[in-house]
Structure 1
Amino acid sequence: MAKVRIDNDSLIVEIEGLDKLWALKSRLAIPLLNVRGATADPGVIKEPKGIRAPGAHLPGVIIAGTFHVDGERIFWDVRDPAKAVVIQLRDERYTRLIIQVADPRATVALVEHAIARSTT
């Protein structure tokens, strides 16, 4: 599970619990100018994962870490697809962050509101 917050002009994603171990990350900080949008998407779990490097993928249990597919680098941290949020990025190490959060709708609203506020 991940917690998402806005700190000044950055999107902060904190990876919690043992997921830090599986994902080999504990925190991601992304400038809001590089965040394109966010959506709640439980169906994302069906997408091809590509090549894991580094991370963990135990189908039906966890997808965590960095995955490469079709020239994109994607960060995953999902156990429960019903709580998956996809955050689209530009000009960053990752093209997408696919993370599990406690409240997908609230997280999407938080990200979208922060993006709107940062562009005005």
Structure 2
Amino acid sequence: MAKLKVAGGRVEVVLSQKERLAALRGDVSADLGEVAEIRVSARPFGELRGIRAPGAGFPGVIALGTWRHRGGKDFVAVYRGRPAVVVELAPGGEFGRFVVGVEDPDATAAAVRAALAPDGVPAAAR
């Protein structure tokens, strides 16, 4: 299962070996300064926008890889029955957002917020 973590001033989506094969790419990351918003989504499949290209997916079961849409592209790793953390990123980067299903989305989102700034406000929102 994918993990969302903060390391070296970056927010990273770390994939398992099987997920890397299915997503047709390795881990992805963005600078913490690019983070505009972090939120938890109880319905991660409702967060998908556009079409999968490249990656793996089965509607309502798994979505893994790059989703391209009119405004750019997102990186997603979501699974049925698992809430996700949505990391909105500032314009201009490779991805517009990360949507990652995790075991404890509230704790994961709180950990990323804590790494952003002492007051928990994303740098892009200041």
Same fold (TM > 0.5): yes
1:46 match: secondary structure? helix
Matched, 1:75 2:108: no
Which segments of 5 or more consecutive residues in structure 2 lack a partner in the other structure?
A: none
Distance 2:25 2:107 in 1: 23
Matches of 1:70 and 1:56 in 2, distance apart?
20
Per-residue deviation, 1:43: 2.3
Partners of 2:113 and 2:35 lie apart in 1 by: 9
Deviates more, 1:86-95 or 1:47-56: 47-56
Tell me what 1:9 maps to: 9
The percent of aligned pairs where both chains have the same amino acid is 34
Distance (Å, rounded) in 1 between the aligned partners of 2:44 and 2:3:
19
* Structure 1 residue 68: Cα displacement: 1.3
Contact 1:37 1:87 (8 Å CA) reproduced: yes
Please, what TM-score do these two structures have when normalized by structure 2?
0.82
Offset from partner CA, 1:16-51 (integer Å, 9 cap, x none): 242221112331121110111211102231245312
> Could you say if the C-alpha distance between residues 30 and 81 of structure 1 is closer, same or farther in structure 2, counting changes exceeding 3 Å?
farther
Q: What SS class does the counterpart of residue 29 from structure 1 fall into?
A: strand
The unaligned stretches of length 5 or more in structure 1 are none
Structural RMSD (CA): 2.1
SS in 1 for 2:60: coil
Alignment: residue pair count: 120
Deviations 1:64-111 (A, max 9, x none): 111112322011111135321111111311001011112101110011
One-letter identity of the residue aligned with 1:95: G
In terms of mean alpha carbon deviation, does 90-99 or 8-17 score higher? 8-17
